Structures are given as structure tokens and as C-alpha cells.
Structure 1
Amino acid sequence: MNTETQDIESPHFRFWPTGLPRTLDWPQTGLADNLSASAARDPLKAAIIFYDAILSYAELDREVDAMAGYLQQACGLAVGDRVLLYSQNCPQFVIAYYATLRAGGMVVPANSMYVEREIAHIVRDSGARIALVGQELHERLRSLVQARELDHVIVHAYNDYVAADTDLILPADVAEPRRPIEQGVAVAWSDALVAGHDREAVNIGPESLGVLGYTSGTTGQPKGCVHTHASVMAPVVGSAAWRDGQASDVSLSVAPLFHFLGMQGGMNLPLYVGATIVLMQRWNRDVALTLMQRYRVTWWSAPPAMITEFFANPAAADHDLSALKLLMGGGAAMPEAVARRLHDDYGIVFNESYGLTETAAFILGNPVERGKRQCLGIPTFDVDARVIDPATLAPVRLGQSGELVLNGPQVMREYWQLPEANAEVFIDIEGKRFLRTGDLVHVDNDGYFFMVDRLKRMINASGFKVWPAEVESIMYGHPAVAEACVVGVPDAKRGETAMAALVLRPGCVGSTTAEAIRDWCRGEMAAYKIPTIIEFVDTLPRSGTGKIQWRQVQAEAAALIE
């Protein structure tokens, strides 16, 4: 196909980033090679700054090697073995991630908000036998160790990597000193690091398995997305080129590294270009403001809700943010008023993009110089994005709404051990394998994609996916709940939030409170899944076949909020 024909069929090429090719020569190396190259190029440069403590590229590379050797020699890690990474943001997360890859393993990043029941499913489904875990989360793995479902647990304390003289306000888990480790399969991170095991070289290439990232499905059961080194590398290389990432950049990393938004934009991308990561364990807008000024942050990848809260801080006007040149985000649309203020008051571009766990994040993106607000963007390097009728799978006309389907180098290989789910999510179009996203979109005359709705019944709370079926299933376990319907409703801060309409059991009406149910939920599910609104109703609307009409519940709830 010649260029002229492409331009006619794909109007977005008229707005392609200036000076960039339409296709890239993708690296034929493993993800861990990115760190090796950056460390060789500038070994003394700061790779990670964690509450004023600096870890150079040489030190980071050395500790990755040491931990990789321990995983191989002490834990028996073989090529392709899955390794659970269960932690909040910290240097140990970065080291463990790259050590697992360098040793030939497959990283299984788990949401640090998962409670014991949820993390047990991830361990059992993935088959991980080794875990690297933050000390405050260690107790949640105890039953798995006792049942011999985990053979090795390496426990880290965030405080080990904090500067002793920092003036920053530390989160409670970061301020806590290292706890003693009970004898058994668990070992302290510091002991593993100095054990002196040499790393054995393994043959890792672009098609080697790299990351098993879990996302929830419409059934409510998390599904593992199988990513190779190549499919994780593609969004990293593509995003760096798209947004002109440089070694001179300084990236504020606060979005969770277990989530692909933080993993790619806050860790893998900066290490690929040789930039510096200013890492926060958890969100605090005042600390973020200090760090941004102190270290002259140039890039920040975060959910729109976090960025909105940051710039709502009255103290922002008294700090020097002049180095910040680009904000990146996804998972939810940036409110128009906030995007306008960022541009008008600070001269900062908010670059919106679109991605999924199934695509290792970045796959559609707005050109930085020609972006549209509240827009998913255009297909990036070597990506074929189409809109089809979800019922017939036939293409729809330009401007009509339909389901977004994607083909590109970042699309996952498959769902882990779920052949039926794979048969549903992948379709063949003109001999090419496309991923069905379940998202309804339309394309404007310039070839830009805009979100319309979701086919799947999913709630997007600050970029985190909440599946109503899963939450309902858990809430049915409460002794006072007879029926439950969970829906998404608009929320000014989170974009969407979960609302639960509950029918209580006889005898529980009047004696059960919404707050009591939320307290119960805190022990049963991650915090972001807990319904922020709980309404008690006499009955739930049902169809002629007896199915609860969740759309009606959602519409009525949204009307009440308005």
C-alpha cells in the first residue's frame, strides 16, 4: 500500500507526530536489557530517587543481578516460572521486577490492595511458587505458605531505601523500621541481596514470556494476560518515541507500579531512555509538590483524578513547576475544565492515551502537538484499530459507534489457561488477529477515536477496574444481604464509583447500616472495589425471566445523584 492510499483510507495520518516514521524497528532484545544498556551508558546517574535516597544506575543494575542470582540459585527459579510481586511502590519493586526478568522468570504483579482471598486466587491461578512482598502484606500470604502453595517468600521493608536525613513526610508503611522475619520459608530482602549467589545467564528474547498481568473479567474472576518481552516493550518504545522521551527527563512515579499505567509510564519507560525516576510509595499531593520542585520533574504519568487533585492544591502557585513539560494519563478522561487550566495557567500539555492490561497500556494516543481533549487518540506505531458492529462483527461507517478492536505488537498473546475466554476475545479480520476490547467508540473525520460507552459491565474508578459481578458475589456473603445489585455512578473525583442497591434479609431492616456493611467489605475486598454509596431498597427491578435489571438501577441512581 503506498502512502497516498494510506492517507485516503486513514485520515489520522494527516496528524501524525512531526518527524516520526509510521512504523518502528522493534528491539529484538529482552526488557531487562534496557536497564543493562542504560547502566552501561551512564552508571553514576540517578536511576531512582526514593524519599531523597538516590540509587544510581550502576547500583540498581548490581542489585538486580544479585537478586536474580538468589532467585535462580536459592529459590530454584527456572525459565518461565512465575514470580509473585506483591508490594507498594519502592525501589525493591523495580529490582524484583527486573531481577525476575533477568533470571528468566515471568513477573506476576499483584494489586497491593488485594486482601487474603484475592491474592490467594492470583497465586493459585498463576502457579507462582516464589513471592517478593512488602512486609506489611506478608501476613496475607501466611495461609498460602502453610498450605505449601508458596515455597519461597522474600520480604522487604520500604524504610531500607529511604534517606536517613529526609525532611519529607513519610507514609506510615515507609516510616516503619524493618520487622523481624520468622524462621521458615521467608527471608529478609537484605539477606537475600548479600547472599552472594551468581546469576546464571539465560537466553531471553522478545518472544519469551515476561509479565502475567491480571485484569478482571465480566464474570468477576481475574484473568491473567500473558505478555511477552516484546508485547511489553512495544508500548515502552512507542511511547518514548511518540512523546520524545529523553535521558535528561525526570519522571515522577506515583501511579502503582503493579498497574500497567505506572509500570510502563513510571518505571519501564524511564529506565529504557535512561531517565531518572522520582518514586513515591503512595500519593500525597504536598510531598509530590515538593519533589516536583526539588528534582525538576519533567514528566508525570498519572490518572486524571490524581493530576486534578495536585493542581487543586493552593500551594502549587508558590512552587516552581517550570520544568514540567508533559503530563500523560489514561484510564479515565481528563475533565475539560482541568485540561484547559493546565494549558492556560501552566502551559502544560495533558497527553491522553488509551490502553488496556491486554495491550500493556499505550496503544492509541493523541499526538502531543495535535491532541484533542477527552479523546482516546489515534492508532500508534504499527497498530491497526477498527470499529465493528459488536453483534455482526461487520465494519461500521465513519462516525458511527461500534466496538473497538485492535491489532498491534503490544496485544497480549492470550489469557492464561482460559481457552474459552480467548475464543471470545480474539477474532480474525482479513487474516489478522484482533482483540475485542468491549469498548464502544466512534471515529471523527480526522481519524481520532472517542469513547462512547462500554459493552462490558465494568466500573472505572480512577483507572481501576471494578467488576460488579465480583463485588455482588462477595456482598452476598454478608449475613444481612438478601439481594445485591452493584452499578457505576458518576463521581467528581474518581470519574466513576461503585453504588450498591441492597435488599436486606427479614429481621435485618433497621438494624443494619451502610457503614457497617462497608466495614465488613474492607476485610473481603480491595478498598477501591468497596461501594462508596449503599442504598437499601425493598425490591430490585427484574426482567420477565427474573434477571435483575442493573441498567435500570444504574439509571435511577444516576438521576438521584444529578
Structure 2
Amino acid sequence: MFTRHYCVWPEHVPRQLSVPETSLFENLANSARRFPDKTAIVYYDTELSYRELLAEVEALAGYLQHAGVQRGERVLLYMQNSPQFVIGYYAILRADAVVVPVNPMNRTEELEHYLIDTGARVSLCAQELVPTLEPLLVAPGRLERLVVTAYAEYLRKPTDLPLPAELDEPFRAPSLSGAIGWRDALEAGHLPGPHRSMPVDLCVLPYSSGTTGAPKGCVHTHRTVMAAVIQRSLWAQTFSDQVVLATLPFFHVTGMQGGLNGPVYTGSTMVIMTRWNREVAGELMQRYRVNIWINIATMAIDYLSAPDADRFDTSSLTYVGGGGAAMPEAVEARLRRLAGLPYIEGYGMSETIGATHANPLHLPKPQCLGVPVCGVDSRIVDPDTLTELGPNEVGEIITHTPSLFEGYWGRPEETAEVFVERDGKRFFRTGDLAYHDEQGYFFMVDRIKRMINASGFKVWPCEVEGLMYRHPAIRECCVIAKPDARRGETVKACIVLNDGQQVAEADIVQWARQEMATYKAPTCVEFMSSLPRSSTGKVLWRKLQEWERERELATTAG
């Protein structure tokens, strides 16, 4: 057991984890019994109580069972953050079925993979996404039933907040065969049978993009999802009277656990945003006295880079944190000035349905993944020999946690490849390169497959990016490999400048050579208006890398 971090362990947090022997749905039932009239959801000024939330979950679960959804059957949840996502998520669980959260940016061909892979027959879908699903509804052996909603159905009072375009669409009754409107499904009057899900039953099937091949479903039971919920609650010291700003997509495990399942477990209030807008986020934090904001670093960077970010009263905040990328020191300093808080970085993945590492609230370190949280045993090993390494030696993170997935859905060979046995426990091979210091804090180096080989020297893009952020003109930076006839590969920096800044490529290159070893320093710079991002806000470095290789091929061919 890795225990080096016990020297900085939070005083009031248990080191091991006791996971309740109940299903995830029962968290909602318990919160509705304890706090029936408390606001569960705030959606652009419309409020929904826990009593109302549970009633709509029960009604939709009854319809799903009436529509033939069986225990253990997979159901697609295909929509953006909204009250309907929360209701749909817990209705699927109440019906003893399995949630398959789908990225709303996915198109028909990608959805077809989910359908074939999971065997799903039913989907809960947002109205603007129906055209994407329609070809799969009429194809033989595909979807049979669609429950359709418009986000505007839950705007039940006027608001002065700027709304995303999707909320301007009024509900239109679906004309497709097999499709039914959301309210029609809820008002059909079907009662669900007894809830039978056990901790060992399949609960949610998030898909991991991985590094190669088609996305793979991560098999999570009620117990593994519950374990991650409890870990987060204990570590962040959450309780019922808190208000949580939910800006990360619920289909993504960080948003799902931090913005949805966590608040439901404690009986807290979720302030939900369908689309990220830093002005709206600031107003919501001020208006509803938000205490907790879990995000990814790029989202926090965007908010904190606003020249007038200090015009919103964020004094109610007690916790701001997330992951996805290291938080630049200069940006974290802005957060400290604005809210008097450090940025609490963490680390997790779809395979662990939440964070396995997080910084202690009382002693965080910058650009750091944190330490293993309750019940987690993580090691650094040589990726080739699996020999365990000591402090400050770079190797692969392997981790054992109560929230660890059972394996990849329908892929026994790929499952076997990512697990190793050690000390009688099953460890997951993360594919992430890192090291830990003498106190047991883990620091990311990079993905194993992202390393740049410059004249035989290993260059980790994440390390270079962290150094580049020291330049006062740089707002965002992504480092990729550029083919080089002499070095094999050289380092290229794709940069977004701060507003009003002008600087020459040569000046950036010269500055970088003074700040880091020559083999690490970018030899070329491309200025961009923005970096490509995933729906969760992560910078798509692979896309930048692909563009670079395509450009190089075109140049060579010419």
C-alpha cells in the first residue's frame, strides 16, 4: 500500500472507504425524504424541489418500464446539461436499467457505434439532436423508442439571464414513429415496479475515447459509482446546505460526479448551465451564493481571464477545482486574488468514474495531481518492466481504487491488457506518465503516446506548456511535434495570446530558449485565435497534431 502521502493527510478524512450497500438511485430517494421542499435544481432562475424531482423521476421510470425496458438494459441519454438530464439519469436507474451517457456532439455514425455496442433500444433525447438519431430509429435492429424534450420545457419563469440558443426552441411534438414527447411520457400515469438494483448491478456505461480505436464502454456498477461519490464528498467536505455550480457536461465523469451525483447524494442544490458562458457563470455565482465550482482548468482560465471578472461577488465560494490540464501559476494567482482560494487540482478518468487523486484542501501544490484519496493505492512503475519506482522517478501510474471499473464492455482482451496484479489487488494501467515526490504528491509528465523525440531527447509537451505559460503575453498554449529532417521531431507551440498583446514568433522562440533546455524549447510558433476543444473543454492536441502532419505531407507532396 502506498502510504507516503499520509504525512499530509487531511485530519478529518478517513484513509479507507466504507461504501454503502445501496443503489445510486437510493441517494435521490433519501435526499427527497430528508429535504422534500429544498431546491434541488436551479435552471436559469427556474427552481425544482427534491420532491418534484423525485416525482418526475418515478413517472419517467414507470413509462420506461411500460415501454419494455428491462432490468440491466442499456438506455442512451443524449442531451446537454438540463433538468431533463438529471431526471432521465435517475429514471433509468429507478427502472433498474443502465445509463449510457452520450456526448451531444456525437453524430449519427458515432451514435451507431454506441447502439450496436450496447444493444440499446431506447433513448432519451434533446429535441435539437433528433435529426442525428432519426436515421437510427428507422433502421432495422436499431432504436425502437425515443423520448424527446426541449430544454425550454423547464424554463417556467422569466429570467434576465442570456440564454443559449438551444433554450429558444419551443417544444414540438415529434412526428417520428416510436417517438413520444417528454411530458406525454411523464403524464402517461405509469408507476414503476419495486426498485431491485443491487450494488453489484451495472449502473452506468461511460465511454472512454482512449488513444486508439473506437470508444470503449467502461463497466461501472452501483458500488463503483457510489464509491467515487463518497470519495469526493469526504475529500471536499461537502454537505447539504451547499450550492454547486454545474458547468461541466454531465455525460463526462467529472461533471457527472461533481455536478450531479455528488449534490444528489448530499442533498445540495445544483445550479445548472446548458452551455458555458463566463458572464452567466459569474452572475449565477453571485445570485445564488454558489459555494462549489468544479470545472476543468481551461474553463477556469476563461473565466479568470475576463478583464472584469472581479465585478461579480464570488465571496460565497469555498471550493474551486478540477482537472483536465495543469492550472498555470499566473492564473491560479488571479483566483487567489479574486476569491481568496487555491485551485484544487485532481486526477481521474472514465475507468475510475471520478478522481483517484486530489490535492489536500489545507496543503495544495500547484500543477500537481494531488495525493491518492480515500481507499486508493497508486504506484509509479516502469512501463516496460512494471518495476515500482521511487520518488522523483518518471513512470506509469497504476491505481487500485474501490471505484475501479469492471472492464471494457464486450472487450475481454483489451480489459486484460490494462490490468496488473500486485499485492493481491487489481491495478489499472492508466497510460499516464508521472512521478511522485517525497511527500507522495503526484505530478503529471504526459501521456505515454504523446512524447516528442527530438534528436533522441524525450520531450513531454505538458512540461513545456507549463513553462510557456510564464510568458506574460500567452493566454493558452498547446505543444505538438513537428517533423524535422535533422532532429526527427522538433517542438512546436500553438499559442493564443492575451487580449491586446502583440509579440513576434522570433521573440517567443528566443524567450523559450532562455527559460528551458534547448532541446525542449519550441523552435517554431503558430499564433491562433483559439485552440480546438472537446465538448468538455479539453484542448484537442491530437487534432492539432493531425493538422500539422497533414500540412507537412502536403508540403512534401508539393
Give the TM-score band, short-chain normalised: 0.7 to 0.9
Deviation track 1:313-370 (CA, whole Å, cap 9, x = no partner) reads 2332222111011112011111111112212342023111100000002111111111
The runs of at least 4 aligned residues of structure 1 exceeding 6 Å deviation read: 458-461, 526-530
Aligned with residue 239 of structure 2, among 239, 242, 246: 246
Q: Secondary structure at the match of 2:92?
A: helix
Shift of 1:537: 4.0
The residue correspondences of 1:503-542 to structure 2 (distance < 5 A) are: 531=543, 534-535=547-548, 537=551, 539=553
Q: Which residue of 2 aligns with 1:135?
A: 127
Q: 1:65 to 1:376 in 2, by over 3 A?
A: same
TM-superposed CA distance for 1:124, in Å, is 1.2
**Inter-partner Cα distance in structure 1 for 2:172 and 2:281:** 27
Q: Is the 8 A contact 2:376 2:401 kept in 1?
A: yes
Distance 2:393 2:276 in 1: 39
TM-score, scaled to structure 1: 0.82
Change (3 A) 1:263 1:79: same
* Cα distance in 2, alignment partners of residues 395 and 284 from structure 1: 44
User: What is the alpha-carbon distance in structure 2 between the residues aligned to residue 493 and residue 82 of structure 1?
Assistant: 45
Distance 1:527 1:89, change over 3 A: farther
Among all aligned residue pairs of Structure 1 and Structure 2, give the percentage whose two residues are the same amino acid: 45
User: Can you list the C-alpha shifts for 1:69-88, whole angstroms capped at 9, x where unaligned?
Assistant: 11001x21111100000101
Is the 8 Å Cα contact of residues 224 and 404 (structure 2) preserved in structure 1? Answer: yes
Tell me whether 1:172 sits opposite 2:161 in the alignment: no
**C-alpha separation in 2, matches of 1:538 and 1:313:** 36
Aligned to 1:432: 425
1:437-490 per-position Cα deviation (integer Å, ceiling 9, x unaligned): 0001101010111001211359999xxxx9x9xxxxxxxxxxxxxxxx9x9965
Which residue is equivalent to 1:256? 249
SS in 1 for 2:90: helix
CA distance in 2, matches of 1:295, 1:330: 24
Q: Specify the SS of the correspondent of 1:217.
A: coil
Residue in structure 1 matched with residue 205 of structure 2 by the alignment: 212
Q: Does residue 1:31 correspond to 2:24, yes or no?
A: yes
* Matching residue of 1:125: 117
Separation of aligned partners in 1, 2:439 and 2:271: 37
Identify which of 92, 95, 103 aligns with 1:100.
92
Partner of 1:314, secondary structure, is coil
What secondary structure, in the 3-state scheme, does the structure 2 residue paired with 1:210 have?
Answer: strand
What's the counterpart of residue 381 of structure 2? 388
Residue 72 of structure 2 aligns with an amino acid whose one-letter code is G
Structure 2 contact 317–339 (Cα < 8 Å) conserved:
no
Within the candidate set 223, 226, 230, 2:219 is matched to 226
8 Å CA contact 1:305, 1:493 repeated in 2: no
The residue number in structure 2 matching 1:154 is 147
1:333 and 1:492 map into 2 onto residues whose CA distance is 17
What secondary structure does 2:310 align onto? helix
Preserved contact between residue 213 and residue 224 of structure 1 (Cα < 8 Å): yes
Does 2:63 correspond to 1:60?
no
Partner of 2:303: 310
User: Separation in 2 of the partners of 1:488 and 1:102?
Assistant: 50
Partner residue, 1:113:
105
Once residues 112 and 492 of structure 2 are traced to their aligned partners in structure 1, the CA distance between those partners, rounded to angstroms, is 27
Q: Secondary structure at the match of 1:174?
A: helix
Give the whole-Å Cα distance in 1 for the aligned partners of 2:265 and 2:45: 22
Distance 2:404 2:555 in 1: 39
Match 1:81 to one of 73, 94, 105: 73
Change (3 A) 1:491 1:65: farther
**CA separation of 1:376/1:490 partners in 2, compared to 1, >3 Å: closer, same or farther?**
farther
Q: TM-score, normalised by structure 2?
A: 0.82
- Cα offset, 1:538, TM superposition: 5.6
8 Å Cα contact 1:81/1:105 also seen in 2 = yes
1:273 to 243, 266, 286: 266
1:145 corresponds, among 137, 147, 169, to 137
Aligned length: 485
RMSD: 2.8
* 1:335 has 2:328 as partner: yes
Q: Tell me: CA distance 1:382–1:490, structure 2 relative to 1, closer, same or farther (3 Å).
A: farther
Which of 318, 341, 347 matches 1:348?
Answer: 341
Q: Distance in 2 between matches of 1:106 and 1:529?
A: 32
Question: Does residue 353 of structure 2 align to residue 360 of structure 1?
Answer: yes
Residue aligning to 2:187: 194
Question: What is the alpha-carbon distance in structure 1 between the residues aligned to residue 193 and residue 13 of structure 2?
Answer: 39
Structure 2: runs of 5+ lacking an equivalent: 452-460, 466-477, 481-488, 499-527
> CA offsets, 1:97-132, max 9 Å, x none?
001011110100000111111111111111111100
CA contact (8 A) 2:23 2:197 kept: yes
> Deviation of residue 305 (structure 1)?
0.9
